[in-house]
Structure 1
């Protein structure tokens, strides 16, 4: 300022006109002022004084700075911004709007947002939008709109009404985002998660959902439901002689034939390989089941012509009918139909067989095993083995998962598949689950004393989370291990179990998270409502089911599904852990996809706790993974 005064006002005899800062004498505050002054000269032309005014402009400078900041934010925002008059005419748009829609500001200003209209939304949609804007001052939702080049895109919008001091609407402002890619990714994951990628038939997840609906309807109407388990007879020789591609095409044609034999209310699902389930719903007379299956058998036995090669195959069908007092759930009905299908094969193939009610014997076996498992808990026969999880980018050991085993007194160490289904279906779930939690925390405390501080995860069933006192019981158990930081405990929610009262479960999870416990969604992609749970549950990580990871090396559908799950999880800020990493090649694919952690036999088999320290000391990141990480950056 002094330079300006010397060089301009004194030297050139110009008016003093300058904005500058001063320190106020009374309170030592720094303020901005605008000085205006004129030099007074003596007879010789020498300056003797300057007279003028000084005005405090601090408020204006703050306002100018805010306007500049708002302008910079407006221009740099990654979301499109539209400002309209109260009549809806566009006043201003930002560069992001142009990037999303293709319309530059000069073509949009003066128009209305109707220039983006695609015709996909009806008049009722816009009536609800305006009602919300006028009544509540805000509306949020999605449009399908049209860009300048005519292409459609999904637009996520939040529109707000701007009012003056009298409460009158003077402007509308909207934030818009192009979520087309996210929607397409969601649709792709949704389809792959619920349909068989080869044949387009329902997969196991969708079949279970359909069966639950059909069972519920049957309970209300009294109508029957038939589960028909189908297996193509002698399919392996066809595959061996003509190749897998030929076999795949035959499977596709087989599904097409099945679809022509059933009604729109029925369903076809592929469970894997050449095994299918046909679900017949709303059956009023038992004879209708046999008639439909006879039609299926005739259709399936017609010759297949593929690339001028004629093949004749047949199918064997096992049938389980609901209602059945011994089979009240999808698992049991499918299992019973499967057993019946094997009876049809043993009886000569190319025929049907209804499940015979020998459930009494199976029920007795179940009760025997239940009693034995109760004793196993009482006499401390359960053991925990731990399987490491490692970071794919660095090779660092991130944690371990606790996996239950049964040290049977006569049969040796039994894997969970031999006994866990019985536990899951009975009230043993709670005491066994709490034993696992106690033992895991006790072992984590031992490791900490050895200088090993790893995150530990355990499986928790929806039946636990649905208990109103789950969070309270968890806190009591944690309180018995004060040396263990709750943030080092992760509970894996088994997504294969249907969850009732989802809102209550979410509240339970939030209460547990407040004390530091973390959650992950286990077996993602195999359960009842994968995307719903993924979107709503406040989990920190998602574990891709081992079946997708294990088979992805030779299955493009599984590759696409794994890649889509990783992409969506990263978009939503969730960690991704891949189960079933059995080889180094699995890790190569997962590194390329951006997966965070790996777990499986390719890293380490589950091991007793005393073996873990030595394993950690020996573990090194595979050179192939390190090299691939270096190449991919």
Structure 2
């Protein structure tokens, strides 16, 4: 029995060992199958990820090609839009000529169409004109929204695919056009792009990539994507998607591998290796089953291994951490970890990894789980050091078991610098490829080793055309050897060169570049590369020329402006003129131009100025300069002989040319004149400014002399100008110095003899020259804009006097003369209203007198001002009637209440046997006023004979020396029979 128990125990032990051995075999086989299947799946996933990366890289390449092609076509469209903006009135022929040049540079543009104010007005090619010209986009609902979006945006708008009016489908790029001259909207330019050609070229340019591609787009986020190009079935095959940056809407590329996605593949080598490993494992189990080891040996080995591991862990240069695989607690940290993070060992081992890692708790838990289950052992994290500095780290984590505790052994590398370098390299590569500027890189021997897409777009050369060649293939031939020698000497000395250079495209076209050359050296200071960055500045050069033209030439007539005139005058003054040579500057001012401009509008006025410039230009000879200073002012600059005959002859020719009738569009005929002032160098002036000033003074003298004539500058004009200047200075102080006074001349009823009103007449008590009438200073006041202050004083003083008379019971009217400058001032109505409100005078008894010429010369503002005054109850009288236009048209048009017949007509009927013709004229004026319901005042009545005749002719009122001369207010009070204190 004692032997049986050990035997039984031994049998039980053997059976237990056998069961354990079989159990371990089954577990090992299951683990083997699971591990090999996991490896197979992992390999499949790696291959699938590589396929995705390849497809994404291909889509990014296609995206760059598509965006480049679209951008190039949009640049051509922008060039045409800019051309229309600068030439808003261009013809169809000019449009077609410019558009043809642009279309020759692209194989993707089907046609251009420009719609002015929503209606297609210009097309190219003209073969589609019959279908498109005259089409109103309001009648095309399918395209109306795109046109509206383009109108409302300053950026291009792309829509499509669009059913074209002429048939077929295409992409349409639209952009708004602004009239650059008037800064007003002009319309929309539509560029029709061939979808098939555009995207086929994009997908076939350069290296063919092994992917299937589809292009989709949508206009709004609420819409679904619609197929535009490619294979729509890609949708069902889990495609890779890359968004695109194109104007308007959203666009994306979809792609799958050319031969489809790979499925799970079996790898015999994996299974073979697994079987081998399993065999070894089973052999090990079998060895353990047959050969036991002593407990002491096992403990000794464990202790020895643990001591060796601790020694390596503690002293290794790499940063190492031991983490609890579930909680993330830091169990241990080596010396390198303490130095890297800045914490001591006790502090680190009291922290969790989440105290260092900046990722979220959920992301960290997922990473710990992946490392614990061996799904992933490589991570890129962001760790925060004790100093607060944040570093990018690369973490390798593997699960280990120490004393039945599952830990994660993590080796950490600081990769911040490496990742920054990689980021910069990727950014530089992207900038290099996608930059619109051309980039060329050569080796130290000046052989081209790389170019970007911008280089090809600008020069027309593809990369394969230029690799290994010298950059001299771009040489235009415009620069000599000395230019290039100096350029390369500066590159060698300074390490860089920048400047403008002319190069030649592949098609032979020579164009200007802004080129920058830089040297790249290695650590030893040796040249390894030269980098050239350039841009096409053709448009910039064109713009500079246009800006120069705009700065020096009049936009309306195309003549030199004041700036260019001054430059040419200064050049002429520096030229040797010989013993008898002189320089004459003739200042021209058109007579009656303002009347034409105000009567028929600015368009007719502009047309007249163009015709004037053409006539004047026809009178010039070689070497003359004709300039327009602005408005209706022109200048002729000419070299003449010592006498004045040449200037007189040219002046007479100019006057004769301007007096000829101008026939304008719309059936308008214009009759104008010209006043000319002439100054000469060196007789009158020593520089450009004096020539212009003195010629201007002579022109004003010509105008005062009756207009439509010429005058030479002399010293007397300088004296007159100085006197005017001094008078202007004194005039500005006359109101503050209380030197002004109103005199009053009564107006009487010719039937009853009663005084019914007075006319206020201005007098200036000059401290040196005595009492002056407006004849002596009113012109200076108007020229220097002092008239506004004087008129304000006159109106307010007159209203104050009128109020005093009204308070005394005298209901008489007060007439005040108004300057043409006042009528042109839209604030004049407010001046009158404030004077009436301030003084309390009744506006029904205030009457403003204006001349006929004032109405004609200020038609634009006169009607509005007079109607506003009439609404306030103020009366309007025409002074000196009969000396101007005496037109029934303006009498009916303006709110006029009274006519004042000029004294010259009254003077001619003063004899006992008056001139019947003069009497008839006065009678006609009275009858006309009566028919229009206007009162009539005869001015300048000096005799009873004149009074009697006027009474017989039906004239109502009279004014003149027969009744009283103009007298101060206190003297006029005696005529009213009131207290002088009033």
TM-score by length of 1: 0.44
Select the structure with the greater relative contact order (CA < 8 A; seq sep ≥ 6). Answer: 1
TM-score by length of 2: 0.30
